[in-house]
A and B are shown apart, each in its own frame.
Chain A
Amino acid sequence: MMELLQTLQLAGQDLLGAAWLPVWTAVKIMVIILPIMGGVAYYTLAERKVLGFMQVRPGPNRVGYWGLLQPVADGLKLLCKEVIIPTNSNKFLFLAAPVLALTPALAAWAVIPFDDGMILADVNAGLLYLLAMTSLGVYGIIIAGWASNSKYAFLGALRSAAQIVSYELAMGFALVCVLLAAQSMNMGDIVRGQQSDYGLFGWYWLPLFPMLVVYFIAGVAETNRAPFDLAEGESEIVAGFHVEYSGMGFALFFLAEYANMILIAALSSVMFLGGWLNPFHGWPVIGELTDMVPGLFWMLGKMSIFLFLFLWFRATFPRYRYDQLMRLGWKIFIPLTLVWVVVVAAWMQTPYWLW
């Protein structure tokens, strides 16, 4: 496999010269983006199936065997629908907003390591880049709400913006703990810092467990998912910031939301569950048996745990009221994370820090 790639590299360099690098990068980007798009499509099906199962019904099962073609049918339907642009809306911004929402959600994947060395851009400030990219997503939402010239969309955008800004802080502090523990901002190094002979007990979820909880809940809030989906709030503001969108515009927002969810799941597994590491590494017998499983498999497995949690939350919890949401973000998460940053920093100076 490696040799094949190398021959391909050499052949490409011979053929295209200096133009080879952009072409090769574009190929790598496609290799990341296309599976994510497929993942998003089938995650929507998984969501409807899981919600259905938890409500004691079978979920979609008419299109294809077990409903497996449902995402294809949904996509086709959205493609064929008319894109309606509301009167008096700002046409340029209205059309730019879905793109602005989707781009950061996909761009953030550049620094996610899927396996040792399997990373598009192995930058040293990977964590900072991620924080920047996940925060940029809110622009798409604000612009969509404003450009629609509709009060429901505007209210939804305001809610969403305030919510994302509030939870960004707690999320950032939770990541500061990881940063302290790993002593690196490079995503690959963060995973390698969790490597030990104790398997899953060497990962950061153990010393940073409260941070894992805070990070994931903040991630749910960040992606505007239930129970923090006030930005959509079907019962009071119809669908929030994307009320006025139809057809592909709506589909892009949908893609962005789900790509963000998968991103949060990937981040949680990289930061706290040891990314591509084998959970049984170093254990007697089972450790040796599972060491040949490729890291990508573990990474995807860990992501699917978090992805399932997203759906589980949605099936279980009723929506927060807005003041409750703000109270949770500002009065509980931020103090908690601040305290834990100090605790971790102090803990690391003692000989009891084993990670």
Chain B
Amino acid sequence: MKNIIDFFKSFLLLELLKGMSVTGKYFFARHITVEYPEEKTPQSFRFRGLHAQRRYPNGEERCIGCKLCEAVCPALAIKIEVAERADGSRRTTQYDIDLVKCIFCGFCEESCPVDAIVETRVYEYHGENRGDLYYTKAMLLANGDKHEAQIAKDRAADAKYR
């Protein structure tokens, strides 16, 4: 008996019609594609994009050259040279991040005792030569100056979880 029912079920193409009803329903569904240049997905305040170096409100750079980020960096993308400045404080003379090597893990940001090196929400950047993605201290500081408002807001939002 079951065989006969199964025979008629497959003969009348019921399963195929069921499948077609599913795809037919989705034909009228709203598409879920994010059409990138026009639309963007929402970002977390912990987004890990392009790096930046921050300054204190009085304009003094935060970085004290402790080299914790250089030590923790799993991709060995950071290179730091340190010297004593004229006023006797310890400062970096060189702070380079090679974005070609960087894996954007965020360890540098996490290890920093003074919140100097941070990752911003910027992700739409490119380089036309390999050297273009080698960010020097000046470039990082410029990034920080440019995006300071957003950076400070994101750190404040994240503060209670740290």
Q: Which of A57, A61, A312 contacts B23 (CB 8 A)?
A: A312
Is there an interface contact between A56 and B31, defined as CB atoms closer than 8 Å? yes
With a CB–CB cut-off of 8 A, which chain B residues contact A9?
Answer: none
Closest to A50 in B: B27
Closest to B30 in A: A56
Greatest chain B CB density within 10 A among A57, A213, A315 is at A315
Which A residues between 71 and 99 are near B, CB-CB below 8 angstroms?
none
Q: How far is the CB of B89 from chain A (nearest CB, A)?
A: 54
Q: How far is the CB of B141 from chain A (nearest CB, A)?
A: 39
With a CB–CB cut-off of 8 A, which chain A residues contact B74?
Answer: none
B35 at the A interface (CB under 8 A): yes
Q: How far is the CB of B118 from chain A (nearest CB, A)?
A: 36
Is there an interface contact between A57 and B20, defined as CB atoms closer than 8 Å? no
With a CB–CB cut-off of 8 A, which chain B residues contact A58?
Answer: 31, 33, 35
A54 at the B interface (CB under 8 A): yes
With a CB–CB cut-off of 8 A, which chain B residues contact A54?
Answer: 23-24, 26-27
Q: How far is the CB of A214 from chain B (nearest CB, A)?
A: 11
A53 at the B interface (CB under 8 A): yes
A317 at the B interface (CB under 8 A): yes
With a CB–CB cut-off of 8 A, which chain B residues contact A313?
Answer: 20
Is there an interface contact between B26 and A317, defined as CB atoms closer than 8 Å? no
B5 at the A interface (CB under 8 A): no
Query: How far is B19's CA from A54's CA once the two chains are assembled, in angstroms?
Result: 12
With a CB–CB cut-off of 8 A, which chain B residues contact A56?
Answer: 26, 29-33
With a CB–CB cut-off of 8 A, which chain A residues contact B4?
Answer: none
Query: How far is B33's CA from A213's CA once the two chains are assembled, in angstroms?
Result: 35
With a CB–CB cut-off of 8 A, which chain B residues contact A61?
Answer: 35
Contact with B along A298-331 (1 / 0, CB 8 A): 0000000000000011011100000000000000
Is there an interface contact between A316 and B20, defined as CB atoms closer than 8 Å? yes
Closest to B26 in A: A54
Closest to B20 in A: A316
Q: Which of A55, A57, A312 contacts B24 (CB 8 A)?
A: A312
B1 at the A interface (CB under 8 A): no
Query: How far is B29's CA from A57's CA once the two chains are assembled, in angstroms?
Result: 9
B22 at the A interface (CB under 8 A): yes
Closest to A227 in B: B16
Is there an interface contact between B33 and A57, defined as CB atoms closer than 8 Å? yes
Is there an interface contact between A52 and B23, defined as CB atoms closer than 8 Å? no
With a CB–CB cut-off of 8 A, which chain B residues contact A312?
Answer: 20, 23-24
- Place the interface of chain B in its size category: 10 to 19
With a CB–CB cut-off of 8 A, which chain A residues contact B19?
Answer: 316-317
With a CB–CB cut-off of 8 A, which chain B residues contact A53?
Answer: 26-28, 31
Query: How far is B26's CA from A53's CA once the two chains are assembled, in angstroms?
Result: 7
Query: How far is B29's CA from A59's CA once the two chains are assembled, in angstroms?
Result: 14
Query: How far is B35's CA from A58's CA once the two chains are assembled, in angstroms?
Result: 9
Is there an interface contact between B22 and A316, defined as CB atoms closer than 8 Å? yes
Closest to A318 in B: B19
Query: How far is B35's CA from A61's CA once the two chains are assembled, in angstroms?
Result: 10
With a CB–CB cut-off of 8 A, which chain B residues contact A316?
Answer: 16, 19-20, 22-23
Query: How far is B16's CA from A30's CA once the two chains are assembled, in angstroms?
Result: 40
With a CB–CB cut-off of 8 A, which chain A residues contact B24?
Answer: 54, 312
Q: How far is the CB of A169 from chain B (nearest CB, A)?
A: 19
With a CB–CB cut-off of 8 A, which chain A residues contact B32?
Answer: 56-57
Closest to B16 in A: A317
Closest to A312 in B: B20
Closest to B19 in A: A316
Is there an interface contact between B23 and A315, defined as CB atoms closer than 8 Å? yes
Closest to A58 in B: B31
Greatest chain A CB density within 10 A among B20, B23, B26, B30 is at B23
With a CB–CB cut-off of 8 A, which chain A residues contact B20?
Answer: 312-313, 316
Is there an interface contact between A57 and B31, defined as CB atoms closer than 8 Å? yes
Query: How far is B32's CA from A20's CA once the two chains are assembled, in angstroms?
Result: 58
Contacts from A to B (Cβ < 8 Å): 50, 52-58, 61, 213, 312-313, 315-317
Contacts from B to A (Cβ < 8 Å): 13, 16, 19-20, 22-24, 26-33, 35
14 A-B pairs besides A54-B23, A56-B33, A316-B20 with CB distance below 8 A are: A50-B27, A53-B28, A53-B31, A54-B26, A54-B27, A56-B26, A56-B29, A56-B31, A58-B33, A61-B35, A213-B13, A312-B23, A313-B20, A315-B23
**Could you list 24 A-B pairs, sorted by A, with CB under 8 Å?**
A53-B27, A53-B31, A54-B23, A54-B24, A54-B26, A55-B26, A56-B26, A56-B29, A56-B30, A56-B31, A56-B32, A57-B33, A58-B31, A58-B35, A61-B35, A312-B20, A312-B23, A312-B24, A313-B20, A316-B16, A316-B19, A316-B20, A316-B23, A317-B19
**Which 9 interchain pairs have the tightest Cβ spacing?**
A316-B23, A57-B33, A54-B23, A316-B19, A315-B23, A58-B31, A54-B27, A53-B27, A316-B20
